[in-house]
Structure 1
Amino acid sequence: MDMAKIVLEHGKDEQTRRLAMDIIRDQEREIEQVRAWVAARKAQ
């Protein structure tokens, strides 16, 4: 995700920038899923 953020900061190619945005969005979604899973496991 760090590399994707660098692409957004410095990249010029629009297709690569869109890919970076998709990567960030997907990774953030996965991180939230893992956090929810961990919270549910702790609640048991």
Structure 2
Amino acid sequence: MTTKGTRRQFKPEFKKDAVALISEQGYSISKAAEAVGTTASNLRR
């Protein structure tokens, strides 16, 4: 039997900060994820 974990939810400000790093400052997705404290796969969702 497997159990499902809960999916982490991010606030809109967090998402805006991550997008700004990528689009305005030229960060890669993986570097932006590291800077905001999450994984690259979370930013791609």
TM-score, with structure 2 as normaliser: 0.30
TM-score, with structure 1 as normaliser: 0.31
- If asked which structure has higher relative contact order (CA below 8 Å, sep 6+), I would say 1
**Rg (Cα) greater in structure:** 1
Structure having the larger proportion of residues in helix: 1
